[in-house]
Copies of this chain bind each other. A is one copy, B any other.
Amino acid sequence: MDFAHCLPIWNKLTADQQEHILSVSEYRRVRAGTILHDGSPECMGLILVSSGQLRAYMLSEEGREVTICRFFERDICLFSASCVMPNMQFDIFISAEKDCELWIIPACLYKNLMNESLPVASYSCDLISHHFSELMWLMEQIMWKKFDERLAKFLLEESALENTPSLTITHDKIANHMGTAREVVTRMLRYFQNEGMVRLTRGSVEITDVKKLALLQGE
């Protein structure tokens, strides 16, 4: 996909801005498994995904990983551009989960665009708010309430009880069992699905990676 089709706000840029961003952005192909950013404060620029799939995650000292988010076709990843976000002092890792075609946009150029173009500023604002909300949710459910652990445990116990990896149960029912809201269950199940641990269909949850799910149960 060419740059213009990749960047969601391309049509909202002026001809000058389009020419400039195109002339300085760098096209790159990377293999699945490549680590693009390793938590160093180095500012590599923004990554625009033309094809493939990226994953941003945190890594604990004991090697546990928590996925912060994924980036697909036409998504832009700001986490690799610490200079665009003030006070970016955290360690985040970005890896290619599939073979990818990427565009690297220099951070200084993007920063300038944000300061002169309303569409770029609004778009970035939406992006960051979205990430912020996701992060708060993750923090709340995973780090704090350990809801991932509890849900993993529940699914594995149900599966053992019913003697099948494919549970016929609604999200509502699970929520009742666990004393939480349906939305929380649905969102965590989707997180599990993205991590390849379950497959969701209407009215059922199929466990596709028992081992990975069991690892979540904690000590």
Query: Which residues of A does B touch, CB under 8 Å?
Result: 58, 60-61, 84-92, 114-118, 121-122, 124-126, 128-140, 143-145, 183, 187
Known contacts A115-B122, A121-B125; is-contact A133 B183 (Cβ 8 Å): no
Cα–Cα distance between A122 and B187 once the two chains are bound (Å): 30
Known contacts A60-B144, A60-B145, A144-B60; is-contact A90 B121 (Cβ 8 Å): no
- Of chain B, the residue at the smallest CB distance from A116 is B118
Which among B58, B114, B115, B140 is the interface contact of A91 at CB below 8 angstroms? B140
Known contacts A115-B122, A122-B114; is-contact A133 B60 (Cβ 8 Å): no
What chain B residues lie within 8 Å of A129 (beta carbons)?
Answer: 84-88, 128
Shortest Cβ gap from A171 to chain B (Å): 15
Shortest Cβ gap from A129 to chain B (Å): 4
Most buried by B among A92, A125, A137: A125
B143 and A61 contacting across the interface, CB-CB below 8 Å = no
Which among B58, B89, B125, B131 is the interface contact of A114 at CB below 8 angstroms? B125
What chain B residues lie within 8 Å of A61 (beta carbons)?
Answer: 145
Q: Which 3 A-B pairs have CB atoms at the shortest separation, nearest pair first? A: A121-B121, A143-B143, A90-B136
User: Could you show 23 A-B contacts with beta carbons less than 8 Å apart?
Assistant: A58-B139, A58-B140, A58-B144, A60-B144, A85-B133, A87-B133, A88-B133, A89-B137, A89-B187, A90-B133, A90-B136, A91-B140, A92-B136, A114-B125, A121-B125, A125-B128, A128-B128, A128-B132, A131-B132, A132-B132, A132-B135, A135-B139, A138-B139
